[in-house]
């Protein structure tokens, strides 16, 4: 999909094996700096993009499909070389460690020095939205964050991981100050679904990351 006509020089990919990839494609197509958005299903498509979004969905299913499509190892190499943003299930995939996995565990891509707890808030009916301040990424204006069967970050394993977002109130059994967004160098992870709002500021932030690392 070709985005807006501009002098942009970045090509964004959205992993399209499973989950909410269409919504990311639509919102990326509104950003002038994006030259093209590619729904990534093959290694060839992955190799053609400057940066990648791993969307929300079901992380175990996503990993199984990636394995069947011979995409696990190419994805592992990609996330260690180029900007990658994981949202919800995508955050789980990027984590080096995950708790709460289904019996037998699941494959992770790794690369992000965090531990996450899958499905922290319970079932689909415990989904919620809340306002978050992400000053290091978005300035003072809060962001409307949508959480759907969301994970949280339970520990940060390296001082190179920068916390950029925390819950601002107690939700269910989850305390305020719980970490829900981090950045480590060229990797970005959010526990919520920015693509389900009309606010494209986080996507624009990631596009700027992609442009920075392409230079």
Task: Tell me the per-residue pLDDT of 60-109, one tens digit each, with 9 for 90 and over.
Answer: 899 999 999 999 999 999 999 999 999 999 999 999 999 877 666 678 99
Read off the pTM: 0.92
Cα(34)–Cα(36) distance, integer angstroms: 6
Q: Which residues are catalytic?
A: 88, 193, 195
Question: CA dist 195 to 21, 54, 60, 76, 190, Å?
Answer: 9, 12, 21, 24, 11
For the segment 174-202, the average pLDDT, to the nearest whole number, is 95
Helices 72-79 and 59-68, packing angle to 10 deg: 110
Q: Which position has the higher pLDDT, 215 or 189? A: 189
Fold of 10-214: Rossmann fold (3.40.50)
Q: Which DSSP state fits 140?
A: T
How far apart CA 4 and CA 6 sit, in angstroms, is: 6
Cβ distance 194 to 145 under 8 Å? yes
Mean pLDDT rounded to a whole number for the chain: 91
Q: Could you tell me how far CA 198 lies from the centroid of its own chain?
A: 17
């Amino acid at each position: 999909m070709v985005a807006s006509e501009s002098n942009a020089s970045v090509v964004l990919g959205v992993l399209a094996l499973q989950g909410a990839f269409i919504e990311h494609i639509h919102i990326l197509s509104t950003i002038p700096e994006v030259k093209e958005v590619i729904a990534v299903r093959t290694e060839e498509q992955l190799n053609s993009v400057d940066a990648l979004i791993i969307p929300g969905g079901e992380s175990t299913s996503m990993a199984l499909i990636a394995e069947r499509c011979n995409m696990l190892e190419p994805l592992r190499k990609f996330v260690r070389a180029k900007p990658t943003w994981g949202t919800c299930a995508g955050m789980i995939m990027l984590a080096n460690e995950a708790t709460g996995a289904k019996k037998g565990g699941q494959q992770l891509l790794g690369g992000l020095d965090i531990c996450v707890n899958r499905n922290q808030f319970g079932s689909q009916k415990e989904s919620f939205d809340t306002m978050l301040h992400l000053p290091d990424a978005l300035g003072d204006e809060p962001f409307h964050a949508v959480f759907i069967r969301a994970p949280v970050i339970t520990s940060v394993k390296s001082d190179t991981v920068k916390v950029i977002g925390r819950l601002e109130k107690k939700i269910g059994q989850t305390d305020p100050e719980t970490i829900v967004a981090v950045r480590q160098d060229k990797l970005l992870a959010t526990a919520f679904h920015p693509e389900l709002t009309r606010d494209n500021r986080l996507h624009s932030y990631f596009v700027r990351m992609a442009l920075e690392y392409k230079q």
